[in-house]
Structure 1
Amino acid sequence: MTSTQPPSPHDTPAALGDRTAKTPVIAFLGTGRMGSPMAENLARSGFQLRVWNRTSSRATALAEQGAFVAHTPAEAVQGAGILITMLADGPATERAANGPDGFLARCPGLIWVQMATVGARWSARLAVTAGRHGVTFVDAPVSGSQGPARTGQLLILASGPDRVRDILVPVFGALGRATVWLGPAGDGTKAKLVLNSWLVDLVEATAEVLSFAGRLGLDPASIVELLRVTPLGSPYAVQKAGTMLAGDFAPAFALKHAVKDAELAVQAAYGLGTHLPLTEALLPRWRHTALEHADDDLSAVYITA
């Protein structure tokens, strides 16, 4: 069964009052394109924040927001009650947890909220590791790109023990427009894999349709307008179609990350003895496109469609 935490206005530091005082210090690991604006929203909402990033220069700007910049993951979690990880992938997250300067051995009783997209197998593996160290594991990847991350409009796909939900309400409220609780830890990642499989298939279909229209001698922009005024065109597909035709590939969701997430979905399907034929079919060309456009938006696949 799922439950949704309704959207609520963001609290200002003054409005948080006693609630913030009762909220544990937050450690935030991974201040890249998504993590940095998320951490900024927490700091602006009045939470005490300790941050770490492998490339430390990407974390220093948060010091201006009042965050303590740690040199290691272990230092970041000192005195923290909640840990959020937003690192590149499963291996990077495991290194931060179990490496020489890892956080796990130093913080029994911690609530660990894993918010990156690491895949089903890694989510399960990290949950087991957390349990061995007396750490409560919450699997809560986010749906949304850099824009929603900056404005605190992410959708949080949370899963984990009921007993920590109330503790995390103000934290998730500073990060997203809504939180959907999906069940035991791991179900959030499963939902994210499903959503991202749909996303990449939709972008591929959009790129193919525009390319096909051009080869037929039609103005692809006229097809975008047809999609806009019919039930066939989702707002996301129409928006991406516009950026494709404009050649605007400024990254909202980098192609390299879309490829990674598509691969995670395919791997999860294989693990269940099934297949995702559409997602599997697009991956070879997407990988090829990423050789030159890894850091561009995933809409750059239009170039090779």
Structure 2
Amino acid sequence: MTTNQPPSPHDTPAPLGDRTAKTPVIAFLGTGRMGSPMAENLARSGFGLRVWNRTSSRAATLAEHGAFVARTPAEAVQGAGILITMLADGPATERAANGPDGFLPRCPGLVWVQMATVGARWSARLAVTAARHGVTFVDAPVSGSQAPARTGQLIILASGPDRVHDMLTPVFGALGRTTVWLGPAGDGTRAKLVLNTWLVDLVETTAEALSFTGRLGLDPASIVALLQSSPLGSPYAVQKATTMLAGDFTAAFALKHAVKDAELAVQAAYGIGTHLPLTEALLPRWRHTAVEHADDDLSAVYITA
């Protein structure tokens, strides 16, 4: 069922049969830097949308796009067929699910799409909790920063049961340019941990190389130009190198979130009896840099390289 008008906060929840419609109402929890543009893209695509954020003012602007702003997670899921969570971390997601105003006790039959990066342990824990309440759990973190979130160009690393693929295809189509289905729920998070390990190691290498260049008495900009003309210089590394040299640390991917994701990757490695030596080595300095630059872009690690 598609609707262009937000439902009343006093609407009764839709019956289970309505939850199987091709374009059900979507509840979206977590309208921060990534969640807000994602929710806006869903509203613009014609989905009925109910949103909630712990700081309600961050969700208020979505009302201008036809979304109903709920007071609690439980209120947000009323009448929804799909729930998307894009909250800060695993504990915040669990509080929204099981807290005093949590959504889980109110929504048997719901399809819960968990799109934040919460780590392997939390993803598994949330999946078990969802199953206990008769909720279908889909693990679908995204790859991309704020700009792709705004333009609907995210890469969605989806994992979950085959039966929900068709229902979620138009939803993911409004949020990203590519959706990759990776297998059972949990595989999306595992893939995201690998990608983020690659990302933070690449940014650290870029920062170290530029610092090393300067200490050798060379012009770092000339090295960036050289890398740009070489297979060694990936577009992402060259972009970050350019912002580092410009001293422009406007957040695309905040350092505090990069630190969190690197820590999640290290924890996952420990959990399977292995190590990530490069990532483990960069974390102490990244944590130190984040004391003053937590909300800056992760490229701010160049300051202390």
TM-score (norm 1): 0.93
Task: Please give the secondary structure, in 1, of the residue aligned with 2:156.
Answer: strand
1:38 Cα deviation after fit:
0.1
Structure-2 residue corresponding to 1:144: 144
| Amino acid in the other structure paired with 2:248 | D
Q: How does 1:31-110 map to 2 (within 5 A)?
A: 31-110=31-110
Task: Please give the secondary structure, in 2, of the residue aligned with 1:252.
Answer: coil
1:133 Cα deviation after fit:
0.2
Q: How does 1:290-305 map to 2 (within 5 A)?
A: 290-305=290-305
Q: How does 1:112-191 map to 2 (within 5 A)?
A: 112-191=112-191
Structure-2 residue corresponding to 1:274: 274
Task: Please give the secondary structure, in 1, of the residue aligned with 2:81.
Answer: strand
Q: Partners in 1 of 2:121 and 2:227 — Cα distance?
A: 37
| Amino acid in the other structure paired with 1:133 | H
Count of residue pairs the alignment pairs up? 287
Output one character per residue of 1:195-245: Cα deviation in whole Å (capped at 9) or x when no partner.
000000000000000000000000000010011000101000000000000
Structure-2 residue corresponding to 1:241: 241
1:23 Cα deviation after fit:
1.1
Given that 2:144 and 2:155 are in contact with CA atoms closer than 8 Å, whether structure 1 keeps it comes out as yes
Q: Partners in 2 of 1:252 and 1:234 — Cα distance?
A: 18
Output one character per residue of 1:162-188: Cα deviation in whole Å (capped at 9) or x when no partner.
000000000000000010000000000
Q: Partners in 2 of 1:220 and 1:195 — Cα distance?
A: 27
| Amino acid in the other structure paired with 2:221 | A
Structure-1 residue corresponding to 2:9: none
| Amino acid in the other structure paired with 1:163 | R
| Amino acid in the other structure paired with 2:225 | E
| Amino acid in the other structure paired with 2:182 | L
Q: Partners in 1 of 2:247 and 2:223 — Cα distance?
A: 17
Structure-1 residue corresponding to 2:7: none
1:286 Cα deviation after fit:
0.1
Output one character per residue of 1:278-299: Cα deviation in whole Å (capped at 9) or x when no partner.
0000000000000000000000
Q: Partners in 2 of 1:26 and 1:148 — Cα distance?
A: 21
Given that 2:108 and 2:134 are in contact with CA atoms closer than 8 Å, whether structure 1 keeps it comes out as yes
Q: Partners in 1 of 2:198 and 2:127 — Cα distance?
A: 26
Q: Partners in 2 of 1:276 and 1:268 — Cα distance?
A: 10
Task: Please give the secondary structure, in 2, of the residue aligned with 1:137.
Answer: strand
| Amino acid in the other structure paired with 2:29 | L
1:193 Cα deviation after fit:
0.1
1:22 Cα deviation after fit:
3.8
Q: Partners in 1 of 2:282 and 2:106 — Cα distance?
A: 43
Give the root-mean-square deviation of aligned CA atoms: 1.0
Which structure is richer in relative contact order (CA contacts within 8 A, separation 6 or more)? 1
Output one character per residue of 1:14-60: Cα deviation in whole Å (capped at 9) or x when no partner.
xxxxxxx7411000000000000000000000000000000000000
4+ residue stretches of structure 1 with deviation over 6 A?
none
Output one character per residue of 1:221-280: Cα deviation in whole Å (capped at 9) or x when no partner.
001001100010100000000000000000000000000000000000000111000000
Structure-1 residue corresponding to 2:192: 192
1:131 Cα deviation after fit:
0.1
Given that 2:152 and 2:177 are in contact with CA atoms closer than 8 Å, whether structure 1 keeps it comes out as yes
Unaligned runs of 5+ in 1: 1-12, 14-20
Q: Partners in 1 of 2:122 and 2:109 — Cα distance?
A: 21
